[in-house]
């Protein structure tokens, strides 16, 4: 959410004629109010399994013909033992892989996470653009903005949980930015 504020301000002030300060402040406040009004709906979905909470799974609309889509969410472990995200499946794609980003020879690359992703006891792990993320590969159809599609996450200790990925706009970058990185092999 913090990433929205600078954008909102930039939007409110960019290129505006020299309004009275009052009007400009009023516009900024209105923009912020509208943003806050939208946020509860956007963040209102979370899922629980055992000691784990899966917050706001989301994906991005893809252009026609795209074969991959990203998947993002935060896992919070309220328990006293670590757990591990082992696998993901969804009807939207043939496979879903867990990827991590790294820099190799100055180039941003991604590679599959081997052996699952540890969720530390009492901690949390965020899957987001530019960091750990899911990759739905072999898409059977394009996720459309505004829909939700189901997926199953399987954890070593907590077991399996069904979640729904909210599909956001193509340009949505979440709190990080991996740009238009091409995931094709
Ligand atoms: Cu990837």
Instruction: Please state the pTM of the whole predicted model.
Output: 0.71
**How high does pLDDT run on average in the chain?**
83
Predicted confidence (pLDDT) per residue in 19-78, tens digit: 566 777 666 766 665 555 555 445 558 999 999 999 999 999 999 999 999 999 999 999
How many angstroms separate the alpha carbon of residue 88 from the centre of ligand 1?
14
Which of 59, 45, 47 minimizes the C-alpha distance to 85?
Answer: 47
Q: How many structural domains does the chain have?
A: 2
Residues 64, 144 share a domain: yes
Predicted confidence (pLDDT) per residue in 126-173, tens digit: 999 889 999 999 999 999 999 999 999 999 999 999 999 999 998 887
How many angstroms separate the alpha carbon of residue 126 from the centre of ligand 1?
14
CA angle, 77 then 40 then 146, to 5°: 95
Residues 70, 30 share a domain: no
Residues 106, 67 share a domain: yes
- Let me know if residue 177 belongs to a domain: no
Q: By the 8 A CB rule, do 143 and 38 touch? A: no
The pLDDT of residue 130 is: 87
- Domain of residue 61 covers 46-168
Q: Residue 158 has which token pair?
A: 């907590």
Residues 39, 69 share a domain: no
Residues 78, 107 share a domain: yes
How many angstroms separate the alpha carbon of residue 138 from the centre of ligand 1?
13
How many CB atoms sit inside 10 A of residue 118's CB? 15
Give the CATH number for residue 145: 2.60.40.1890
How many angstroms separate the alpha carbon of residue 12 from the centre of ligand 1?
34
How many angstroms separate the alpha carbon of residue 60 from the centre of ligand 1?
13
How many angstroms separate the alpha carbon of residue 135 from the centre of ligand 1?
5
Residues 78, 151 share a domain: yes
């Amino acid at each position: 959410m913090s990433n929205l504020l600078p954008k909102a301000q930039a939007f409110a002030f960019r290129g505006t004629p020299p309004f009275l300060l009052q009007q400009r402040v009023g516009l900024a406040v209105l923009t912020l109010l509208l943003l806050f009004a939208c946020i509860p709906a956007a963040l209102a979905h979370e899922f629980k399994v055992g000691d784990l909470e899966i917050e706001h799974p989301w994906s991005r609309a893809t252009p026609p013909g795209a074969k991959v889509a990203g998947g993002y969410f935060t896992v919070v472990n309220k328990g006293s033992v670590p757990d591990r995200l082992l696998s993901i499946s969804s009807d939207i794609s043939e496979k879903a892989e867990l990827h991590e980003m790294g820099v190799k020879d100055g180039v941003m690359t991604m590679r599959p996470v081997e052996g699952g992703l540890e969720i530390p006891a009492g901690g949390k792990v965020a899957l987001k653009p530019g960091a750990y993320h899911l990759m739905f590969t072999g898409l059977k159809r394009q996720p459309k903005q505004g829909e939700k599609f189901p997926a199953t996450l399987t954890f070593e200790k907590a077991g399996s949980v069904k979640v729904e990925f909210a599909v956001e706009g193509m340009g949505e970058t979440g709190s990080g930015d991996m740009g238009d990185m091409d995931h094709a092999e």
